[in-house]
Amino acid sequence: MVADSQTVLQSTVNSQSLQHGPKLLELFREAMRVRHYSRRTEETYCSWVKRYVHFHNMRHPKEMREPEINAFLTHLAVEEKVSASTQNQALSALLFLYRHVIGKEIGDLGHLIRARKPSHLPVVLTRDEVKALLVQLAGVKWLMASLMYGAGLRLMECLRLRVQDIDFSSNEILVRDGKGAKDRITMLPESLKKPLADHLKQIKSLHDKDLAEGWGRVLLPGALDRKYPNAPAEWRWQWVFPQEHRWKNAKTGEEGRHHMDESLIQKAVKAAVFHAQLTKRATCHTFRHSFATHLLEGGYDIRTVQELLGHNDVRTTMIYTHVLNRGPSGVRSPVDCL
């Protein structure tokens, strides 16, 4: 049934003027890749275009404009009760479609019903809770969680670290192509240098073994593998956290290693939260929230924290300053004075 739906969608989104050319979704993907959007964003935006077309009974987007976009986004907010960020994501996908693929600007959307944007504070662990959580992890999972907390890394930033991104002499980690396609430098915690160096020795042995067996090549960003054909096999380009087993291309027989799958560390952290008996809804991203909050608690300048986190606007970083205003915890209840 799903395959049939996909076939119907692909045939429906074929523009009459492009009957013998690329299909709309193919043009959409190509436009995103030319602009260096991440694969994850590409898949998310494509899913919104499909939902938009399905919502309007498989009509081609070229036949629809502001009223249809308004109806779809309002449906998301009113009927499906999505969050404000989800509705904005859907709008961004449709704006990209019309601007860069169909070639039309979207005007006033009229009386669009916006999803309510709640004001949530980030979940932050205390230092004791971080300790309790890390105690429940071991091996490479402990090392990854410690890096996310100790350097303020996002999960995918941690997974995509390459050997050359770790500078032991300067105690720095270079985060390449982070959120918003930005590079930044953050700290390498002193206490993690030895465990990380020991881990890299094991990975080096694994890489040497792969090379001896005729493999040991990784995917490089952009077209670097064409510019530097030998680079994919070089040690400095290898993942810091590679997957345990090599993948195999069924057609070519080629084998290699991606970085570790994100679900493995996510499940490990979820289990650690349970075994540590924490009542907070902590995830991998909670380590980053806790990193920022604990730095501000320690008296570090907010601009420094902003640079370490890679925020464009200091107002994004200021959400963590709620810890400096102790709120109810700084007020003594009158019942305690009886």
Residues with a known catalytic role: 154, 179, 285, 288, 311, 320
In the three-class reduction of DSSP (H, G, I as helix; E, B as strand; rest coil), residue 255 is classed as strand
**Rounded Cα gap, residues 109 and 233, in angstroms:** 51
Helices (H), the chain: 2-12, 24-34, 39-55, 66-78, 84-96, 127-135, 139-151, 155-159, 193-212, 224-227, 262-275, 284-297, 302-309, 314-317
Q: Which two tokens stand for residue 2?
A: 């799903």
**Rounded Cα gap, residues 102 and 63, in angstroms:** 10
Q: Which two tokens stand for residue 203?
A: 């990975």
Contact 314, 306 (CB under 8 A): yes
Contact 233, 211 (CB under 8 A): yes
